[in-house]
Amino acid sequence: MKKIKLIISSFLILTTLFPGSSYARTGELASKPDSAYLFSYATGKDNNHNGLHFAWSNDQENWHRIGPEHSFLRSDYGRWGSEKRMLSPYLTQTPDGLWHCYWTLNEYTETFAHAASADLIYWGRQSYDVKSYPVDPQHERCSIVLYDEPETGVIHKVAWKVIENLIAAKDRTVYKDRIYSETTGEDPVRFATLKPFDTKVIVNGQQKKPISDLLVGVFFEDINYAADGGLYAELIQNRDFEYTPADKEGHDPDWNSRTAWSLKGNNATFTIDSVQPIHPNNPHYAVLKTDRPGASLTNEGFDGIVLKAGDKYKFSVFARTLEGKNGKLQVHLTGKDGRIYAEGSTGGLSREWKKLNVTLAAKENVSDARLEITPAATGTIALDMISLFPEKTFRNRPNGLRADLAQAIADIHPRFVRFPGGCVAHGDGLDNIYRWKNTIGPLEARKPQRNLWGYHQTAGLGYFEYFQFCEDIGAEPVPVVAAGVPCQNSACKHLVGGGQQGGIPMSEMDAYVQEILDLIEYANGDVKTEWGRKRAEAGHPKPFNLKYIGIGNEDLITDLFEERFTMLFNAVKEKHPEITVIGTVGPYSEGTDYEEGWELANKLNIPMVDEHYYQKPGWFIHNQDYYDKYDRSKSKVYLGEYAAHLPGRPNNLETALAEALYMTALERNGDVVHMTSYAPLLAKEGHTQWNPDLIYFNNEEVKPTVGYYVQQLYGQHAGDEYLTSRVIVSENSDAVQKRVAASVVRDSRTNDLIVKLVNLLPVPTQTNIVLNDVPAIEGTAELITLTGKPDDKQAKPATGTVRISNDFDVDLPAYSFTLIRIKQNNTNLTKK
C-alpha cells in the first residue's frame, strides 16, 4: 500500500512540475504517432440507419474501424427506427477547430441536417433546415475498402489524441453496455461462491434532511388502450362513428366509421353520413334504414361488453328521424347466442337531434355481451354518440372511470398524476398535438383524434375528467402540454418538415401561449373568468388548485424548440408565478438533449425539469449515485418516465427489484428529485404497444405487476424526511455491495419511521439495523416482504411483523424487497 502511495505522489509531483512533459504522459502515449488519418462514414449496412462511424489509419492503406457497431452521431429526424437515417455524412472542420457534420436525411427531403462537435464525441443540437453546405476541396468524399466492404466518406488528418479519445469513448460505451447488461441470469456464475452474509445498516437520526412529499406519482398516457376501452368507463366502441382509416395510417382496411358496429336482420341498411351532424367536431353519424321491423344496429364493445348481475347501465344516444314515423328505440344487451341480459326502450325520436336515455339492469353476469338498438318503427333514422356507461363508476362520477382500474391506481397512493402523456401530449405532427380545449365540454362537442399509438381517442376522458380524478384520489394534477412542437419522432410522410422541426408557426404562437394560460384559468380561475366559468359549468365551481404544468415531453432540443419553449415559459412565469413550470431534458439519462435541455434549464432558471430513461436493470444497479452528483442549487428533477427493461420486456421480480433498489437512491435524493413516475401505467391485454407496463388488465380483471407493488409500497409508505444511513456489507465485493441498498424515511404526519431494504442477490443476508439518535423504541413493527425468483411475474407482498428495538436484526431473503414500518403510536411499541 505504502509503495502505491509513493508512486502516486511521485507522479503528482512530476505532473505538477512538468505539465505536458513526457513525465506527464503514460508510456503508452509516448509511443504513439503525432497524427493519423481519420475516415468518417455512414455504413451502408442497415440501410444507413446506423449513424456516423470512424476508422483510422496511419498509411491510408490499412484501416481500423473504431468499433464497427459504434456510431458517434445518429440522426434524430423522423419516426423511430425506419426514418432516422444518415445518408452521405460530410465531416468538415472550421478554423476555430469545431467539427461539423452535414448529412442527407432521406431520398426526398431537400434540406440537409447539421450538428457540430468540439471533439467528435459529444455532438450539439441537430438542425434539419440546412439548404447547402461548404465542401472543402481538400476533403472531398472518397471511397476506401474497410475489411472488404467499400465505404464512402471523408478523410482528415488529425492529432493522434483525437483518435485515442474516440477509441476511449467507444471503449467506455462497450464497458458500460457490458455492466448495464448484467442480469440475474448470470448470478449463478457471478455469485457462485457467495454464501449468506451479514449487512449492517447504521441510521444516523441526527443527520436528516427534508425530502419531497410528492416523490411517488403516476404517469397516465393513453397508450395500450389505457383510456378508451380502459380507464374511461364507456362500454361502446366507436360510439361517435369517428374512427377513420387515418387512425391507423390506412394500414387496417377494417378500421373506419363502421368499426365495432354491424347490422343485424334483413331489409335494412346501415350507412355513415355527415350532412347534418350534431356538432362539427363530430361530423359522422350512422343512418339506419329499415323496411321491416326487427333489424338492429349492434355494437361489440371493446372485446365484448362485461355486465354484472344486478348492476345498472346508462344507455344514451343522439337520434333523429329522417324518414318514416318517430318511433322509440328498443335497447338490448344480448349474448352471442341472442339471449337478452338487459333491456329497455327510449322515448320517441323527433325530426331534430335529441338525446335519449334509458337505464338497463343486467340480469346476469356476462363477459361478452353486445348492444342492440332496434327502431320500433320502420323508416330511416340517424344515430350518434351511442353510449353505455356502468352506473357504478369510480366515486360514481358521471362520464367517469372504470372503478376497479381507478381504484388500483388510487391504491398506489400517488401524490400526483401526470397526463395526458408521454408522446400523446406532443403528438405525431402538428395536427396531432393534444389540445386541451378539444377535450372539455359536452361529449358530442369534443374533438376526437388519432392516437399516435395507432388507434382512436374519443376525448371522453378529457381535461375535466383528469382534474376530477386527481382531486378524487388526493393527487396533484400535473398536465403536460406540447412546447409548441410535436414529437421529434413524428412521421416525415415524405414531406419536408416532418419530425419536430415543423413547430407551430411563430405567427400562431401567441394564440398557443394564450391556450396554455387559459388552461391555468380553467383549472384555477374564478368562476367569473371565461375559463373558470366553463369549469363551473362542467360541475366544479371550486378551483382544482393546479400547481404544476409540464411544458414539453422529452423533446429534441433544437433552436426551434428553444424559441417556443422560452415564449411559453416566460408567459406562464409572468402571468402565473405561483405555477411551477416543468421543463424537459430529452428522452435519455445522458446525451445531447439531456445536456442541451439542462443548459436551457440553467439559462432560464426553470424550476424543475422532466427526465426520462428506460434502462436495463444493470443501469439502475450501477447508477445509484446518479442524483448524488446533482447540484442542489439548480433545477429540481421530475423523473417523469422510467422503468427497468430486460430483454423480452417482462415486468418481473428482477425488474421490480432493480427499480426498488434505485428508489432507495431516489428517496436519498428526495431533496433534488421532487417527483417520480414509472411509465407507462396501464396496458390492455391484446392491445399493447409498449411493455412493460405497471398494470395490465382486460375487461374483467385488473392485473397488477410486481413493479406495481414496488410503486405501491413506496407510495403508501412515503416519508418527508430522510435519515442518513450507511450500509455496510460483510462481503468485500463491488458486485455484492451494489445489490444491497437501504433507505430510511420519516413520515412527519404520523411520525412513523419507514425502513426500506433491497437485496438483489441470490443469497439471504442477515441484516442488523442500528437506529442511532432516534427515540428509544422496543416492540413489534409491520414487516412487508416482496420476494421470489427473479423471473417471477406473480410475486406479491406478504405482511408480517418483526421484533424491533434501536438495534435489531432482520433477515433479507434472496431477491427481496423488505419494508418495515415503525409506528410511533403503535401500542406494541414501548418508548423507553
Which are the catalytic amino acids? 554
User: How many residues belong to the chain?
Assistant: 832
Distance, CA of 164 to chain centre: 37
- What lies within 8 Å, CB to CB, of 25 at 6+ separation is none
Give how far Cα 382 sits from Cα of 292, 524, 599, 674, Å: 17, 39, 57, 52
Least separation, in Å, of the C-beta of 662 and ligand AHR? Answer: 17
Residue found under cell 430529452: 586
The cell for 719 is 416519508
The cell for 610 is 422532466
State in Å, rounded, how far the first CA of the chain is from the last one.
47
Choose one: 147-155, 419-427, 713-721, 820-828; the region binding ligand AHR (CB under 6 A): 419-427
Least separation, in Å, of the C-beta of 216 and ligand AHR? Answer: 17
Least separation, in Å, of the C-beta of 425 and ligand AHR? Answer: 8
Q: Is residue 641 at the binding interface for ligand AHR, with CB under 6 A as the rule?
A: yes
Q: Is residue 327 at the binding interface for ligand AHR, with CB under 6 A as the rule?
A: no
By beta-carbon proximity to ligand AHR, the closer residue of 431 and 625 is 431
Least separation, in Å, of the C-beta of 424 and ligand AHR? Answer: 6
- What lies within 8 Å, CB to CB, of 95 at 6+ separation is none
Among positions 187, 372, 554, 596, the unique one binding ligand AHR when judged by CB under 6 A: 554
- What lies within 8 Å, CB to CB, of 259 at 6+ separation is 237, 238, 243
Choose one: 159-167, 321-329, 420-428, 430-438; the region binding ligand AHR (CB under 6 A): 420-428
The cell for 812 is 433479507
Q: Is residue 611 at the binding interface for ligand AHR, with CB under 6 A as the rule?
A: no
Choose one: 288-296, 387-395, 415-423, 745-753; the region binding ligand AHR (CB under 6 A): 415-423
Choose one: 160-168, 258-266, 328-336, 416-424; the region binding ligand AHR (CB under 6 A): 416-424
Contact 546, 474 (CB under 8 A): no
Instruction: Report the DSSP pairing between strands 777-787 and 816-822.
Output: antiparallel
Least separation, in Å, of the C-beta of 421 and ligand AHR? Answer: 5
Cα–Cα dist 252/750, whole Å? 55
By beta-carbon proximity to ligand AHR, the closer residue of 554 and 782 is 554
Least separation, in Å, of the C-beta of 554 and ligand AHR? Answer: 5
By beta-carbon proximity to ligand AHR, the closer residue of 83 and 554 is 554
By beta-carbon proximity to ligand AHR, the closer residue of 449 and 664 is 449
Least separation, in Å, of the C-beta of 40 and ligand AHR? Answer: 29
Choose one: 95-103, 178-186, 208-216, 421-429; the region binding ligand AHR (CB under 6 A): 421-429
Among positions 299, 334, 553, 785, the unique one binding ligand AHR when judged by CB under 6 A: 553
Residue found under cell 393546479: 546
Cα–Cα dist 817/470, whole Å? 29
Contact 315, 343 (CB under 8 A): no
Least separation, in Å, of the C-beta of 503 and ligand AHR? Answer: 18
Contact characters 747-786, ligand AHR, x per CB under 6 A = ----------------------------------------
For residues 792, 794, 799, 804, the Cα torsion angle rounded to the nearest 10 degrees is: 20
Choose one: 84-92, 206-214, 225-233, 418-426; the region binding ligand AHR (CB under 6 A): 418-426
By beta-carbon proximity to ligand AHR, the closer residue of 153 and 421 is 421
**Element of type H or E holding 4:** helix 2-17
Q: What is the DSSP letter of 111?
A: S
For residues 553, 554, 557, 563, the Cα torsion angle rounded to the nearest 10 degrees is: 10
Q: Is residue 421 at the binding interface for ligand AHR, with CB under 6 A as the rule?
A: yes
Q: Is residue 182 at the binding interface for ligand AHR, with CB under 6 A as the rule?
A: no
Main-chain phi, psi angles of 255, to 5 degrees: -105, 105
Q: How many residues bind ligand AHR (CB under 6 A)?
A: 12
Closest by Cα among 496, 485, 480, 505 to 561: 485
By beta-carbon proximity to ligand AHR, the closer residue of 300 and 641 is 641
- Secondary structure of the chain: what % helix, strand, coil (to 5)? 25, 35, 45
By beta-carbon proximity to ligand AHR, the closer residue of 691 and 716 is 691
Least separation, in Å, of the C-beta of 223 and ligand AHR? Answer: 6
Instruction: Report the DSSP pairing between strands 197-210 and 777-787.
Output: unpaired
Q: Which residue is nearest to ligand AHR (CB)?
A: 422
By beta-carbon proximity to ligand AHR, the closer residue of 133 and 588 is 588
Least separation, in Å, of the C-beta of 557 and ligand AHR? Answer: 15
DSSP codes of every residue in 352-366: S-EEEEEEEE-SS-E
Amino acid identity at 318 = F
Contact characters 674-703, ligand AHR, x per CB under 6 A = -----xx---------x-------------
Contact characters 230-269, ligand AHR, x per CB under 6 A = ----------------------------------------
SS3 699: coil
Cα–Cα dist 548/477, whole Å? 7
By beta-carbon proximity to ligand AHR, the closer residue of 223 and 383 is 223
Least separation, in Å, of the C-beta of 437 and ligand AHR? Answer: 22
The cell for 517 is 394560460
Cα–Cα dist 373/356, whole Å? 12
Among positions 201, 305, 331, 423, the unique one binding ligand AHR when judged by CB under 6 A: 423
- List the alpha helices (DSSP H) in 669-800: 706-716, 734-737
Least separation, in Å, of the C-beta of 221 and ligand AHR? Answer: 5
By beta-carbon proximity to ligand AHR, the closer residue of 218 and 333 is 218
Q: Is residue 587 at the binding interface for ligand AHR, with CB under 6 A as the rule?
A: yes
Q: Is residue 223 at the binding interface for ligand AHR, with CB under 6 A as the rule?
A: yes
By beta-carbon proximity to ligand AHR, the closer residue of 705 and 785 is 705
582 burial class (0-12, 13-18, 19+ CB within 10 angstroms)? buried
Cα–Cα dist 243/257, whole Å? 5
Least separation, in Å, of the C-beta of 664 and ligand AHR? Answer: 23
Q: What is the DSSP letter of 730?
A: S
By beta-carbon proximity to ligand AHR, the closer residue of 203 and 549 is 549
Give how far Cα 130 sits from Cα of 40, 98, 111, 112, Å: 20, 17, 5, 5
The cell for 346 is 327510449
Choose one: 128-136, 266-274, 292-300, 417-425; the region binding ligand AHR (CB under 6 A): 417-425
By beta-carbon proximity to ligand AHR, the closer residue of 285 and 638 is 638
- Buried b / exposed e along 440-451 (16+ C-beta atoms within 10 A): bbebbebbbbbb
- Residues near ligand AHR (CB under 6 A) are 221, 223, 421-423, 553-554, 587, 641, 679-680, 690
